[in-house]
Amino acid sequence: MYPRSFHYHRAGSLKEAVSMLGQLGEGAKFLAGGQSLIPLLKLRFANPEHLVDLNFIPDTSFIKEDSGAFHFGAMTRHAEIEHSALAKRIPVLHDCAAGIADVQVRNRGTIGGSLAEADPSGDWANALITLDTIVHCLGPDGARTIPLKDFIKDAYTTALAHDELVTEIEVKIPPKGSGGAYLAFKRTAPVYPSASAAVQLTMAGDVCEDAAIALGCVGLTAIRATEVEAALRGKSLNDNLNDKTIGTAAEFARAAADPQTDMRGSADYKRQLVVALVKRAIQIAARRARGEQVEGAHLYA
Amino acid sequence: MPESMPETATVKIEKIAVSISVNGKPCARQVEPRMLLVEFLREACDLTGTHVGCDTTYCGACTVLMNGLAVKSCTMFAVQADGSEITTVEGLERDGKLHPIQQAFGDSYGLQCGYCTPGLMLSTHQLLSENPAPSEKEIRKAIAGNTCRCTGYMNVFKAIELAGQNMKGA
């Protein structure tokens, strides 16, 4: 399948990319990893006249630690994050990166592209919303930073202007005693998940001091499950798979989710699924917060 | 061309010069920006070992190596591979001798119709270059982006394991 014809522009710097898009106007689009955009172009769901390729811009792919935060260049590939020893220190990020689609897609797809697309079934926004995440952007009027919760406005809609792009994602390193997990359930590797759960807990011994919990693919954006969080705060959590506190708390995810019936399952099924994922992710996060090494990975049908 | 087909008629497209190293040989062509890497390999380079399966970033039949990493060549434009090194299934054999991965797929009956095999072998190539002795779990993860509709994968796992063993001495 061929997309419609378009003009191709190779940006040499982020600044040049922004000014190219401004000059080319509404018919132009940025091309990052292309793992969502190129299929859309081929199916002719998107028909831009111009593509501005970001892939040849130097120094846009990096993972750095600086003053209590990790900084990810916007063009950092999922696979680079998956294999990064630094990113492993925030397990929710490693879980997320290592489970996105398949090896080939992770070799091309980028964290910045994923956030800028804001697909309701995308993985990154859901994982990152449980952390203190700031999106660095560059537009014709210069740079600005936007907290992730204000960056994603709606399905496929962000705070970015047409000629503005993501340059960097900044993630504050969680405090000591904090642990997280990201679990997504997929029918097969290359497809989007049917539902996903992201959990970040801060524990003092067995007691949950703070919790951030988000649900993915079950709404127009990632949903913060605040009732689940409230039901965990101040409570003692144990390792038992049948822990009552965790089970009761996870149950609140059922009402927090707002899924649609589609080819991935009925709305009721997805509510059931997301409760199960939240429960498991809380258990893994709690154990990791206590310093245990626990493997967490995407689950397949 | 009839006037009822405006979509290509209205945009006059310039061709862009690209130079890609394909299996170690420089391949310089003028391409339309919308030409996919897989079409570049199959049509401009005449290397038809790279297959088009689903054409929607799912099946992995079009998998090639770009600078050593597996990518789906139906989900990249040829212009994006400019300056890179691409390896296709045709680049695996050396001096008429099968690559150990090819040999192992044959020896283990790791294929039936063979349509998915070039892609599977290149995903295997990335896996074994990073991890010469993968566990079955690691093998499953490495080829999760390659769909086979014939064999049920068991012999594919055996082939990858065997290839890993055979390549250790190499």
- Domain membership of residue A270 (yes or no) is yes
Can you give the CATH number for the domain in which A224 is found?
3.30.390.50
Contacts of A233 (CB under 8 A, 6+ apart): A208, A209, A210, A211
Based on C-alpha coordinates, what's the Rg of chain B?
18
Nearest to B80 among A3, A53, A191 (CB): A53
- Smallest CA–CA distance, residue B98 to chain A, in Å, is 24
- pLDDT for the residue A100: 96
- Smallest CA–CA distance, residue A9 to chain B, in Å, is 9
- What average pLDDT does range A143-168 have in this prediction? 98
Q: What angle do CA A127, A133, A134 make, to 5 degrees?
A: 140
Total domains in the fold of chain B: 2
Can you give the CATH number for the domain in which B107 is found?
1.10.150.120
Can you give the CATH number for the domain in which B33 is found?
3.10.20.30
Nearest to A35 among B57, B59, B69 (CB): B57
Instruction: Note the pLDDT tens digit of each residue in B17-31.
Output: 999 999 999 999 999
Cβ contacts from A onto B, under 8 A: 102
3-state SS assignment for residue A241 = coil
- pLDDT for the residue B69: 98
Give percent above pLDDT 70 in chain A.
Answer: 99
Average of per-residue pLDDT values in chain A: 96
Q: For residue B111, which of B156, B145, B143, B146 has the smallest C-alpha distance?
A: B156
3-state SS assignment for residue A271 = helix
Instruction: Residue A130: give the domain boundaries.
Output: 63-172
Instruction: Residue B12: give the domain boundaries.
Output: 6-90
Q: Give the confidence band of A152 by pLDDT, cuts at 50, 70, 90.
A: very high
Statement to judge: residues A168 and A182 lie in one domain? no
- What average pLDDT does range A84-102 have in this prediction? 96
CA distance A30 to A20: 10
- pLDDT for the residue A8: 97
* ipTM score for this prediction: 0.94
Give percent above pLDDT 70 in chain B.
Answer: 92
- Domain membership of residue A245 (yes or no) is yes
The bridge status of strand A165-172 relative to strand A133-139 is antiparallel
Q: Give the confidence band of B151 by pLDDT, cuts at 50, 70, 90.
A: confident
Q: Give the confidence band of B10 by pLDDT, cuts at 50, 70, 90.
A: low
B interface test, pick of A104, A187, A263, A299 with most B CB neighbours within 10 Å:
A104
The bridge status of strand A7-10 relative to strand A50-53 is parallel
Instruction: Note the pLDDT tens digit of each residue in A96-132.
Output: 999 999 999 999 999 999 999 999 999 999 999 999 9
- pLDDT for the residue A296: 75
Statement to judge: residues A219 and A105 lie in one domain? no
- pLDDT for the residue B101: 98
CA distance A227 to A232: 9
End of a domain among B90, B109, B138?
Answer: B90
pTM for the model stands at 0.95
DSSP B89: G
User: Does the pLDDT value for residue B38 go beyond 60?
Assistant: yes
Instruction: Note the pLDDT tens digit of each residue in A240-291.
Output: 667 899 999 999 999 999 999 999 999 999 999 999 999 999 999 999 999 9
Can you give the CATH number for the domain in which A41 is found?
3.30.43.10
CA distance B72 to B66: 10
CA distance A89 to A92: 9
End of a domain among A118, A144, A172?
Answer: A172
Q: What angle do CA B110, A35, B48 make, to 5 degrees?
A: 45
- pLDDT for the residue B170: 54
First-residue to last-residue Cα distance in chain A: 30
- pLDDT for the residue B31: 97
Instruction: Note the pLDDT tens digit of each residue in A200-251.
Output: 999 999 999 999 999 999 999 999 999 999 999 999 997 666 789 999 999 9
User: Does the pLDDT value for residue B3 go beyond 60?
Assistant: no
B interface test, pick of A43, A57, A103 with most B CB neighbours within 10 Å:
A103
First-residue to last-residue Cα distance in chain B: 57
Instruction: Note the pLDDT tens digit of each residue in B45-60.
Output: 999 999 999 999 999 9
Statement to judge: residues A192 and A229 lie in one domain? yes
Q: Structure tokens of A265?
A: 């399952």
Cβ–Cβ < 8 Å for A50, B33: no
- Domain membership of residue B95 (yes or no) is no
Cβ–Cβ < 8 Å for A152, A223: no
Query: Which residue has tokens 């001091």?
Result: A209
Other CB atoms within a 10 A radius of the CB of residue A264 amount to 21
Instruction: Note the pLDDT tens digit of each residue in A51-66.
Output: 999 999 999 999 999 9
- Chain A residues with CB under 8 Å of B55 CB are 1, 42
